[in-house]
Amino acid sequence: MRELEKMLKGELYNANYDEEILKLRQKAQDLCYEYNQTMPSNRKKQEEIIKKLKIKTKENFTIESPFFCDYGFNIEIGENFYANHNLIILDCAKVEIGDNVFIGPNVTIATAGHPLDYKKRNKGLEYAYKIKIGNNVWIGANVVINPGVKIGDNTVIGSGSVVTKDIEENSLAFGNPCKVKKEINVE
């Protein structure tokens, strides 16, 4: 089985020494560089680069530069998506983001993780688990979302949080580790 297939199945795979994976990541890095060098007023060119990255989008979205991703093709964003400066998405596994999601500056969404066993880590092995962010979610500045996490609809994640476990819908959650502090009642 190819390393890329292992990556997409959530199995341990070689992220550092596999030519196919390295070429895909290099292509995405080059496109992110181009995106980040594009004048912010040239939204048309930015949208073309997002399409070249094969990020699945709906009609209305904004991703402020700088923006970085590992591959692009594993990212889906919904309608009325807004990401502030310095969004990093390590999309070794699928990242699904719903409609009406707002992301503050300096947010990292990381599907990739590494084995605790240093011998496996030193061989370049890693794993990747899907991240899903529901509809109507607001993620504050400087948040880190770890592999395998699901954030429910209508949720707010407070600034500086490290999300290590699922967060249920209609929640205000924050902290390190991020925990639900109260339920949000929508009128």
pLDDT in tens, 21-76: 999 999 999 999 999 999 999 999 999 999 999 999 999 999 999 999 999 999 99
Q: What's the pLDDT score for residue 17?
A: 86
Look over the chain and give the mean of its residue pLDDT values, rounded to a whole number: 96
Taking 90 as the threshold, does the pLDDT of residue 16 lie above it?
Answer: no
Q: Which residues 6+ apart lie within 8 Å of 182 measured at CB?
A: 171, 172
The residue range of the domain holding 108 is: 3-183
Q: What's the pLDDT score for residue 167?
A: 98
Q: What's the pLDDT score for residue 106?
A: 98
Taking 80 as the threshold, does the pLDDT of residue 186 lie above it?
Answer: no
The full DSSP string for 59-99 is: SSEEEPSSEEES-STTEEE-TTEEE-S-EEEE-SS-EEE-S
For the chain, how many structural domains are there in total?
A: 1
Domain at 111, CATH number: 2.160.10.10
Return the percentage of the chain with pLDDT > 70, whole number: 100
Active site residue 114: yes
Which of the following is catalytic: 27, 52, 114, 130? 114
